[in-house]
Amino acid sequence: MPEYEKEIVKVSEGKRKNSFMNNDTPFCITGIEPLDQKLGGGIPQGNSVLVVGSSGSGKTTFCMQYLTNGAKQGERGVFFTITEPLFKLTKNMENFKFYDKKLIEDGMVNIIDLRIISDRLGLNVEKYSVEDASALLEVLKDIADELQVKRLVIDSITALCYRLESDEMIRDFIFKLGSSLASMGCTTLLTSEIPPVMVGDLKYSKYGIEEFIADGIIYLSDIDRKGDLIRTMQVVKMRGTSHSRSKVAMNISSDRGIEIITLLKSRG
Amino acid sequence: MENTLIQGLKERIANAVMVNPSVGIILPGNNYKDLTQAIFQHMNETQNKTYIYVAIAKPFHIVKKEMDGIVDSSAFFFIDCVSRAAGIHMTDPQCFFLDSPSHLEQLILEIVNIIKDQDKKSDSVVILDAISSLVLYNDELLVTEFFTHLINNMNLYHAHTISLCLEEEMTDQMNKMLYLINDKIIKVKESFI
């Protein structure tokens, strides 16, 4: 077997321990091989990672691929959506080969619409009070515990915070969410919607606080090359790993989902 | 009777490819058709290899038409870099259509994915027709960077490359790039005819 393949197998086995942390914290393999290699094996288990990007940048696809890859390795996951109705989300995902309906039927990937949960709890779906937000957090935690999930996604933290009435409530909610996620022990992806940014005006979240509860930030964006948009991905932060912070080119295809490759950087 | 020029080119290509993983061919536009015919004939005689034909100077359907009668192209893989950009929207199971010739990273990904999917026993050969045409859509330094990454990737997978380069599209930078990165350069001169 060629050397490069041996290295790939080593990473995909998921048995490598986290040498950067010098402890036994294992990795949560995203299944996107070059990304796992960049992270030295994957996302450290138990980390909460903010997946940041503007509309159409691939946040939902990335998260769903992460969950399905985990399910295929026997790790149960849950996807909480508040931005898209379930039927629309699953219909979009059916275009991807990585998506396997059976994983949902078998309960390995669970997709839950937070608006339906809120409705059943008798909460105002459009605006949450302090009590509503706390109740919702408890429900999230209960569902994750009951399903014994190893991977959790909230799509999106921005839409969730949008339903809170004041900046203070948002701060409070985000910090409570951070402590809840830390106590759950599962590896979490939180999507963060931002408008397309101008150079030098980079923000990772709408409220400017989401990134502080996150152990990692994965930033999805575009670069303009003579009028063509090239998708990019950048690991800005990932606690517990010694990772590259270089921007890489990203491709999304129905056959392979998300793939990454070195970004060509020369300019004339 | 087979054209002597085409026969001569075919032999030079066959000899060069046999010992060099990456071969660049610089030729004047007048000889472009002869060279592509020589390459098609070479492909016909080495059908045990996996061929990935990257169409940059002209669309896939033109290349395919030109191959008719010379080589059975049904087992080849094609990547068309220009049709979509030119507003030609066609699909073909044998061809991957790139949205734009400026999506150079995606081009590397698609080539690598095709090679990875192949039976490792057969050698893969990537034909770039023509690398110089990428300069029409990209800065030349970017094309140089692309070519460097591509060749590095091809070395990793033990794949061969044949890169066509039209003399009329050549710049100093392209010239340097071809000579530095390729293992062998074949320079076709009009006087050769």
Residues in chain A with CB shorter than 8 Å from the CB of B142 are 264, 266-268
pLDDT at B1 over 60: no
DSSP H helices, A193-263, are 210-213
DSSP for B153-184?
HHHHTT-EEEEEEEGGG--HHHHHHHHHH-SE
Q: Dihedral (C-alpha) A187, A245, A59, A176: value to the nearest 10 degrees?
A: 40
Q: Are A216 and A237 in contact (CB under 8 A)?
A: yes
Give the chain A residue whose CA is nearest to the CA of B155.
Answer: A4
Q: What is the longest distance spanned by two Cα atoms in chain A?
A: 59
**A113 DSSP β-pair partners:** A81
CA distance B161 to B20: 9
Measured distance CA(B40)–CA(B69) in Å, rounded: 10
Structural domains in chain A, sorted by start: 3-13+27-261 (3.40.50.300)
3-state SS, A122-165, equals CCCCCCECHHHHHHHHHHHHHHHHHHCCCEEEEECHHHHHHCEC
Reported ipTM: 0.85
CATH class for the region spanning B2-40+48-187: alpha beta
- Rounded to the nearest angstrom, the minimum Cα separation between B131 and chain A is 16
pLDDT band at B29 (very low <50, low <70, confident <90, very high): confident
Angle among Cα B9, B15, B17 to the nearest 5 degrees reads 100
Taking Cα atoms as reference points, which of B1, B10, B72, B71 lies closest to residue B35?
B10
Closest CA to A18 of A218, A216, A235, A242: A242
Stated pTM of the model: 0.87
Please write the tens of the pLDDT for every residue from A90-123.
999 999 999 999 999 999 999 999 888 888 888 8
Residues in chain A whose Cβ is within 8 Å of chain B: 2, 4, 225-226, 228, 230, 249, 251, 256, 259, 261-268
Which tokens go with A49?
A: 């990672």
The one-letter code for the residue type at A70 is: G
Mean pLDDT check: name the lowest of A197-211, A216-230, B129-143.
Answer: A197-211
Which residue of chain B has the CA closest to A252? B106
**pLDDT digit string, tens, across residues A225-258:** 888 899 999 999 999 988 989 999 999 999 999 9
* B107 pLDDT more than 60: yes
DSSP type of residue A58: S
Task: Kindly provide the b/e burial profile for residues B89-122, where b requires at least 16 CB atoms within 10 angstroms of the residue's own CB.
Answer: eeeeeebbbbebbbbbbbbbbbbbbbbeebeeee
Name the 3-class secondary structure at A115: helix
Q: Is the pLDDT of residue A22 over 70?
A: no
Which of B109, B144, B156 comes nearest A4 by C-beta? B156
Between chains, do A266 and B144 touch, taking CB under 8 Å as contact? yes
Contacts of B102 in chain A (CB under 8 A): 225-226, 228, 230
Q: For residue A251, which residues of chain B lie inside 8 Å, CB to CB? A: 105-106, 109
Q: Which of B101, B35, B92 is nearest to B66 (CA)?
A: B35
What is the rounded distance in angstroms from the CA atom of residue A31 to the CA atom of residue A151? 13
Per-residue model confidence (pLDDT) at position A15:
45
Cα distance from N-terminal residue to C-terminal residue, chain B = 16
Cβ contact (<8 Å) for B141 and A225? no
Per-residue model confidence (pLDDT) at position B190: 65
Give the range among A12-21, A120-129, A211-220, A247-256 with minimum mean pLDDT: A12-21
